A and B are shown apart, each in its own frame.
Chain A
Amino acid sequence: MKNKIMDATAIERALKRIAHEIIEKHTAVPITIIGIRTAGVFIASRLADYIRQFGQVPVQTGILDITLYRDDTALRTGRAIVRATEIQFPVDGAFVILADDVLFTGRTIRAALDAVMDLGRPKSIQLAVLIDRGHRELPIKADYTGKNVPTADGDAIKVVLAESGSGEDAVYVMQKGG
């Protein structure tokens, strides 16, 4: 069963709120947002636009590919596509905000933390996600959350963003056995 839990307006409202929260908490400029491939990149760039718009503060964005840092490469079959990490600024001393679409087990974020640390020594790392669906397997939490969505373990959350070519903005819960 497929259930739409957020539409374009809801997503926009959630991200704008996160942008305001980030502006409120961050005095250090530029604000550094790094999106985790693939959907996190779109989240990062939308947040950056809103922050520039509302806060009139400089924002720098980067793209992080975490494929080589995952802990489950041996469990999967087929070949992983490794894409480039594109971070054109030094992360040493930066206040980094990682952005992703969904926070689930926390393993992606664990990998992302390692990947960022290998690039330098940021002053701090925070996490912004559109959806927190629970079921954490690691002690990781988000600093900025768009929406908390209680789910069953077998459910899947599908975040559709216009940038991926879908032409729509929506979040669906796909229930198991549906």
Chain B
Amino acid sequence: MVSGKGIIGLKYLGKNDIEQIIETAFSMRDISRRSVKKVPTLRGKTVVNLFFESSTRTKTSFELAAKRLSADVVNFSYASSSTSKGETTIDTAKNIEAMNPDVFIVRHASSGIMELLSRHLKTPLISAGDGTNEHPTQGLLDIMTIRDEKKRIDGLKVVVAGDIYHSRVARSDIYGMGKLGAKVYFFSPPTMITPDYESLGARVTYDAKEAFTDADVIIMLRIQLERQAAGLFPSTREYARAFGLNDQRLKLAKPDVIVMHPGPINRGLELSSSVADNQEHSRILRQVENGVSVRMSAIYHTIGEGHEYTDN
């Protein structure tokens, strides 16, 4: 399932696929931690970063991942693309496909565009985020970070808090962690979620106490300041007070709770500085490290075909 078609959303991956990608990612992390951070596996393969929406960290993370596997990387971003000249997304992708890449890494502002693109392209596709739909590699790195820490996913209480409605991270998290048996809570102002998010398998709550009590994992989402202008919350201070994570709320959670955030963080808004910098609980920078590993694994499983061999 992973191989051949790529990874366009955790919605489409099975439990075994997810576990295999995560397991491989741990081996990939060992490579990133040694002094020679490169293996020859994908020598001669070409990875195209096709970013229709600006992103620095995700693109860099994918680029490092591809390079550590010895693939060649070409970056193609919106600012320098022909979409500004009126070309459609499909035409742009097909043009680049004609140059024989081995995998596309695509980010796009339109939700659901990965399904459309994968129907038109023969080259496998890894989504780097589409609109408010999914950000599968972020979901995978969240799962890896939790697995690393808790050794399991099944049965854990995972709280995803913030602007759920606009969050592709929240959706990938619920698809992925749901399949692995986590109890996922969405904690959000009523203006940033709809009750039918429960149909994805999460419990929706507006009550901080219910959300954070006995949590094993808390994932805070970035609040985009422009949402305030749209009237989704009255003021940043009010948001921080009602929905942010601070030391006091952290005490409701389990003593060994870990705090995660897809970044970039708004200090003092969704996350207080003391929580963000809390070495004991915060795993935000570990997530960034794991992001490269998970993306190495995703690229490897998408284009590095092979199977367990015995050549005796």
Give A contacts to B, CB under 8 Å: 65, 67-70, 72-74, 76-85, 101-102, 104-105, 107-108, 114, 118-120, 131, 133, 156-159
List of B residues within 8 angstroms of A74 by Cβ: 305
Give B contacts to A, CB under 8 Å: 2-3, 20, 23-24, 26-28, 30-31, 34-36, 38-41, 69, 297, 300-301, 304-309, 311-312
Given contacts A73-B306, A78-B3, A81-B308, 7 further A-B contacts (CB under 8 A): A76-B307, A77-B306, A77-B307, A79-B2, A84-B27, A105-B311, A119-B36
Of all chain A residues, the one with the shortest Cβ separation from B301 is A79
Docked complex Cα distance between A133 and B69 (Å): 32
Of all chain A residues, the one with the shortest Cβ separation from B306 is A80
Contact B34 A119 (CB under 8 A): yes
B300 shortest CB reach to chain A, Å: 7
Contact B306 A79 (CB under 8 A): yes
List of B residues within 8 angstroms of A78 by Cβ: 3, 305-307
List of B residues within 8 angstroms of A118 by Cβ: 34, 36, 38-39
Contact B41 A69 (CB under 8 A): yes
Of all chain A residues, the one with the shortest Cβ separation from B3 is A79
Interface of B is mostly: loop
Contact B24 A108 (CB under 8 A): no
Contact A73 B39 (CB under 8 A): no
Contact A69 B39 (CB under 8 A): yes
What are 26 A-B contacts with C-beta separation under 8 Å?
A67-B41, A67-B308, A68-B27, A68-B31, A69-B39, A70-B306, A70-B309, A73-B304, A73-B306, A77-B305, A78-B307, A79-B3, A79-B304, A79-B305, A80-B307, A80-B309, A81-B23, A82-B28, A82-B297, A101-B312, A102-B312, A104-B312, A114-B40, A118-B36, A158-B312, A159-B312
Contact B304 A69 (CB under 8 A): no
Of all chain A residues, the one with the shortest Cβ separation from B24 is A82
- Known contacts A68-B41, A82-B300; decide if A107 and B311 are in contact (CB<8 Å): yes
- Known contacts A118-B36, A156-B312; decide if A79 and B307 are in contact (CB<8 Å): yes
List of B residues within 8 angstroms of A158 by Cβ: 312
Docked complex Cα distance between A119 and B41 (Å): 16
- Complex A-B, nearest 5 residue pairs according to Cβ-Cβ distance, in ascending order: A80-B306, A78-B307, A68-B39, A102-B312, A73-B306
Docked complex Cα distance between A161 and B174 (Å): 43
Contact B36 A82 (CB under 8 A): no
List of B residues within 8 angstroms of A76 by Cβ: 305-307, 309
Docked complex Cα distance between A72 and B41 (Å): 9
Contact A82 B307 (CB under 8 A): no
- Known contacts A67-B306, A77-B307, A104-B311; decide if A82 and B38 are in contact (CB<8 Å): no
Docked complex Cα distance between A123 and B304 (Å): 32
List of A residues within 8 angstroms of B69 by Cβ: 68
Docked complex Cα distance between A156 and B309 (Å): 13
A45 shortest CB reach to chain B, Å: 19
List of A residues within 8 angstroms of B304 by Cβ: 73, 79-80
List of B residues within 8 angstroms of A102 by Cβ: 312
List of A residues within 8 angstroms of B26 by Cβ: 84
Contact B308 A80 (CB under 8 A): yes
List of A residues within 8 angstroms of B24 by Cβ: 81-82
Contact B27 A83 (CB under 8 A): yes
List of A residues within 8 angstroms of B2 by Cβ: 79
Of all chain A residues, the one with the shortest Cβ separation from B37 is A118
A121 shortest CB reach to chain B, Å: 10
List of A residues within 8 angstroms of B40 by Cβ: 68-69, 114
- Known contacts A69-B40, A76-B306, A79-B307; decide if A157 and B28 are in contact (CB<8 Å): no
Of all chain A residues, the one with the shortest Cβ separation from B39 is A68
List of B residues within 8 angstroms of A77 by Cβ: 305-307
Docked complex Cα distance between A104 and B297 (Å): 29
B153 shortest CB reach to chain A, Å: 19
B157 shortest CB reach to chain A, Å: 29
